[in-house]
Amino acid sequence: MNHRHGDAATGETAGRPRGRLSTAASARGRPPLGFTPARYGIVCLLMSDAHQNRSLSPTAAVDPAAVMRIKNLQLRAKAVVEGFYNGLHRSPYHGFSVEFSEYRPYTVGDDTRGLDWKLFARTDRYFIKKFEDETNRRCYLVVDQSRSMGYGSLEYSKMEYARTIAASLAYFLTLQRDSVGLLTFDETIGEFLSARHRPGHLHQLMQCLSRDVTGKGTDIAAPLEQMATLIRKRGLIVLLSDLLTPPETMRTNLAYLRSRGHEVIVLRILDPRELRFDLDQAGMVRDPETDQAIYLDPEEVRQHYQQHFDQHRTQLQAVCDSLGVPLHQWSTDTPPDEALFSVITDQQRRRSPASRNNAIRSAARGVGLGGGNA
């Protein structure tokens, strides 16, 4: 029997693709057996070039104050992730899957489990969804729980905001069938959970994140050193902290992680009052980590504070740029679903081959310029 293979440029074929697929499932537009919801794409792609050339952004934001009133951390994370997805669905630029790479036309002999039936319904053509990595990713959340993170001029602290972002990332990655681990720290290492994806693990991670802060100071070097020592396989490490630490400490330890092949994202969490220094009256202030009390006159120290704060931020940015590490800075009044969105879109962009090669070269330069083995 002769078969017409069709036009490779258009993806048209003479007949339906062959493979293990029930007629009932295809008629209802369901994915073939073997597809998990995450692999099929929790949010579908639009392939229009005009959409690809525009930046994606949710059209609605979750009120951070309302989210923080949810006491159960897992329910809070679920609310943020659902708000994230709802925002994408309301947007004219309908989202993505974090593992999606591109489409290509179906050819005879391809595995039919990769067919996108929703795209077929729109175009009457068969396309295969290509993924950059079909294996589960490993992600470790490294969360600062020092006393400085307990500061907050809003209804909630930086710590509550960081917990919410960490929990939302964990919840999202679990939906994607990825393994998630956790390390908390202050002046010492606190909780540590290996990256896993199994029943009950997410609940255990949420419990560890919810525990009260007992430490005072911050030692950001120790958790990063431990990550480099414990994690043998390459993975994604997400650091959540206010980064009140010397930039050179960050350089040394981030360079070591990058030299081991890990992807690293740094999420800096700050209170709006730290960014603007809008103290109104002179008075005594207390350092939460050292308990030292000093007298401050805002009019005298505002300019000096802003200069040092901007200089420190510039130095941190330079360190991260030299190592190919994305640095996101958020105020705690930023809607948490927007924070989640910026991390995921950044990862999608950086997982392209060209971006990955540039990041590796940046990391190598960073190690040579001042990084080293911790």
**Predicted pLDDT of residue 367:** 40
pLDDT digits (tens, 9 = 90+) for 292-331: 787 777 778 888 888 999 999 999 999 999 999 999 999 9
**Predicted pLDDT of residue 270:** 96
**Predicted pLDDT of residue 136:** 66
User: Which residues lie below 8 Å from residue 120, measured CB to CB, with a gap of 6+?
Assistant: 126, 127
In angstroms, how far is the first alpha carbon of the chain from the final one? 66
State the CB neighbour count (10 A cutoff) for residue 50: 8
**How many CA atoms within 13 Å lie on the side-chain side of 29?**
6
- Positive or negative: CA dihedral 291, 295, 299, 304: negative
The answer to whether residues 372 and 255 touch, using CB atoms and an 8 Å cutoff, is yes
Residue 333: DSSP 8-state: T
pLDDT averaged over 10-residue windows placed end to end, the chain, 374 residues: 42 41 37 34 30 42 90 94 74 40 69 80 79 65 91 93 96 90 88 91 94 75 84 89 90 90 94 84 72 77 87 95 94 92 79 52 43 34
The answer to whether residues 158 and 270 touch, using CB atoms and an 8 Å cutoff, is yes
**Nearest CA among 162, 219, 141, 156 for reference residue 185:** 219
